[in-house]
Copies of this chain bind each other. A is one copy, B any other.
Amino acid sequence: MSGPFSFRTLAHDPATAARRGRITTQHGTIETPAFMPVGTAGTVKAMAPEDLEALGYEMILGNTYHLALRPGEDVVRRLGGLHRFMAWDRGILTDSGGFQVLSLADLRTISDDGVEFRSHLDGSLLSMTPERSMQIQMALGSDIAMAFDDCPALPSERSRIEAAVRRTTLWARRSRDAFRGEGRALFGIVQGGDDRALREQSASEIAAMGFEGHAIGGVSVGETAGLSRAVVESAVPLLPADRPRYLMGMGTPGDLVEMIGLGCDLFDCVLPTRNARNGTLFTSTGRLSIKRREFADDPRPVDESCTCTVCRRFSRAYLRHLFMAGEILAMRLNTLHNLHLYADLMRRARAAIEAGRYAEFAAGQRLTGDPKIAREESE
């Protein structure tokens, strides 16, 4: 193993809160701002690890809940940890499982101890606690683990959000106490819903615990875009500037450009991969639904300004044909294209921050018209 986890900022944009940073892990460095594709079940759907390497990704997200259910963290640990299991030598961040047990599993009961739920796979009764989440994440061996949190949907009653903030702080402490990092990092998560005072309370409580990084959770869970922005704007200044800031579960290309400008460093979202499998492709000028009849004869690439391996080789007509025929290759090619667009957007954002012209870069993106989607952290 190489040295422990670290983060440093390399540049600050003069006109925005955007910053250029570098995370160092036992599995290489991650240049930030960075987007992490979601690898729910030990694979970013339709992608092999060499595809993600070729696209330039340096860190992916793994889902603790899904991997604990199947194949089980003991299997993964016996096979050398998640990196070795899925043959991915670069960074892995695992979520805490908190969002999934509250959104995917059935018959959950939540208490200060943790969450009881039924597996969405076989209905078996299971529980997730801070200690159990840490146990799973340590077995998986992720470079960044997340504290177990209580993440309510929006809108929720203020009493529910208050309880979530209290419990998230309680669970953050228990997560920290249970976590043995061995050079790996644990990030705390800020909750607080759409309530500014509760967000500030949560941020100050979590920031005081000495986590190696901080996440803003409970965003993109049903609220409007304006509210997401307000939440991030209020939370970011309360998080230590010398640690990475991870905005969980967001978002569209437009969201990413905006949230980088507010000072966020890390992102994850199922949007590029799930949309790809549904035939929705991102382009430099908006979205394109490849199944539309108008593309049946269209010899042009998906995006004429795109340099990805798909746009260099295949026409819209061919991609439409593959999609309409239900071919597996459609999933692969669409995913390659969307993930290239996200990776390329991040590369250009980093270059713009280094050049001190992030505001111009953000204003120049034609990524409008992206509707908000509710957060789904796994797929």
Name the residue on B nearest A299 (C-beta).
B79
Is A47 part of the contact surface with B, judged by Cβ < 8 Å?
yes
Is A361 part of the contact surface with B, judged by Cβ < 8 Å?
no
Contacts of A85 in B (CB 8 A): 315, 317-318, 321
Is A140 part of the contact surface with B, judged by Cβ < 8 Å?
no
Interface residues of A in 85-100 (CB under 8 A from B): 85-87
Q: Give the interface residue-count category, chain A.
A: 35 or more
Contacts of A331 in B (CB 8 A): 328
Contacts of A113 in B (CB 8 A): none
Is A227 part of the contact surface with B, judged by Cβ < 8 Å?
no
Given A70-B321, A87-B313, 9 more pairs with CB closer than 8 A: A42-B318, A42-B325, A46-B332, A48-B333, A50-B309, A71-B296, A75-B297, A79-B299, A328-B332
Contacts of A47 in B (CB 8 A): 329
Is A45 part of the contact surface with B, judged by Cβ < 8 Å?
yes
Contacts of A80 in B (CB 8 A): 299
Given A87-B318, A315-B79, A325 contacting B45 (CB threshold 8 A): no
Contacts of A321 in B (CB 8 A): 41-42, 70-71, 75, 85
State the CA gap A331–B318 with chains docked (Å). 21
Contacts of A48 in B (CB 8 A): 329, 332-333
Report which of B45, B315, B327 forms a contact with A327, defined as CB distance below 8 A: B45
The reply to whether B43 and A329 form a contact with Cβ atoms under 8 Å apart is: yes
Name the residue on B nearest A88 (C-beta).
B313
The reply to whether A70 and B325 form a contact with Cβ atoms under 8 Å apart is: yes
The reply to whether A314 and B75 form a contact with Cβ atoms under 8 Å apart is: no
Report which of B70, B86, B332 forms a contact with A324, defined as CB distance below 8 A: B70
Interface residues of A in 115-158 (CB under 8 A from B): none
Interface residues of A in 59-84 (CB under 8 A from B): 70-71, 75, 78-80
The reply to whether B297 and A45 form a contact with Cβ atoms under 8 Å apart is: no
Interface residues of A in 329-357 (CB under 8 A from B): 329, 331-333
Contacts of A318 in B (CB 8 A): 42, 79, 85-87
State the CA gap A309–B48 with chains docked (Å). 11
Distance in angstroms from A87 CB to nearest chain B CB is 5
State the CA gap A163–B303 with chains docked (Å). 54
The reply to whether A317 and B75 form a contact with Cβ atoms under 8 Å apart is: yes
Name the residue on B nearest A333 (C-beta).
B48
Is A17 part of the contact surface with B, judged by Cβ < 8 Å?
no
Is A322 part of the contact surface with B, judged by Cβ < 8 Å?
yes
